[in-house]
């Protein structure tokens, strides 16, 4: 397996972290707007929240998610943290699942919400509108934890060699 050279690694890790953080930020924005649409007593406020959710998700979710997945795959195959690590595969499955849920559930649901809300009267909004952003935010936060903690070993019980330790001199 060919490993990324340092400049390429830096580019892909920055692009991966930036897109992943953007995806989490978008998800948290959608959560705030969903709560606003659900609890609004003013029709204009509810309309603004519902249409903003649709506009944000329909323009940003797919490109941001695609960049996060693509850069994650490059890093998975171009670094020592390859597909043999359980935490890497877990992140990949969760992220691809969240992307699929965005395509097949979130975006159509937000399109329906945008069509439902009316600037002239408050509509009864299904409380499920907050479910997608809660689930996706949880997945993205979980993926962040997995990236930092790197739990579990390799598939098949193989262990990665421990990094060489440099002796620390004590200051006297």
Q: What is the pLDDT of residue 159?
A: 56
Identify the pLDDT of residue 154. 80
Helices assigned H by DSSP within 57-171: 62-78, 86-101, 107-116, 131-149
**Percent of the chain scoring above 90 in pLDDT:** 78
pLDDT in tens, 41-59: 999 999 999 999 999 999 9
Q: How far is residue 102's CA from residue 13's CA, in Å, rounded to a whole number?
A: 24
Residue range 125-139, pLDDT digits in tens:
988 899 999 999 999
Is the pLDDT assigned to residue 6 strictly greater than 70?
yes
Look at residue 156 and tell me whether its pLDDT is greater than 90.
no
């Amino acid at each position: 397996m060919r490993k990324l050279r340092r400049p390429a690694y830096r580019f892909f890790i920055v692009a991966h972290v930036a897109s992943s953080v953007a995806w989490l930020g978008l998800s948290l924005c959608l959560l705030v707007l969903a709560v606003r649409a659900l609890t609004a007593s003013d029709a204009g406020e509810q309309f603004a929240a519902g249409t903003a959710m649709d506009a944000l998700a329909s323009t940003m979710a797919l490109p941001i998610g695609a960049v996060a997945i693509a850069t994650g795959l490059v890093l998975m195959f171009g670094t020592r943290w390859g597909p043999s690590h359980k935490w890497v595969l877990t992140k990949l499955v969760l992220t691809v699942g969240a992307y699929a849920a965005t395509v097949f559930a979130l975006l159509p649901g937000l399109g329906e919400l945008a069509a439902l809300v009316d600037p002239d009267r408050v509509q009864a909004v299904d409380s499920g509108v907050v479910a997608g952003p809660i689930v996706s935010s949880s997945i993205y936060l979980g993926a962040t934890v997995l990236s930092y903690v790197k739990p579990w070993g390799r598939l098949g019980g193989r262990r990665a060699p421990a990094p060489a330790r440099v002796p620390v001199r004590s200051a006297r």
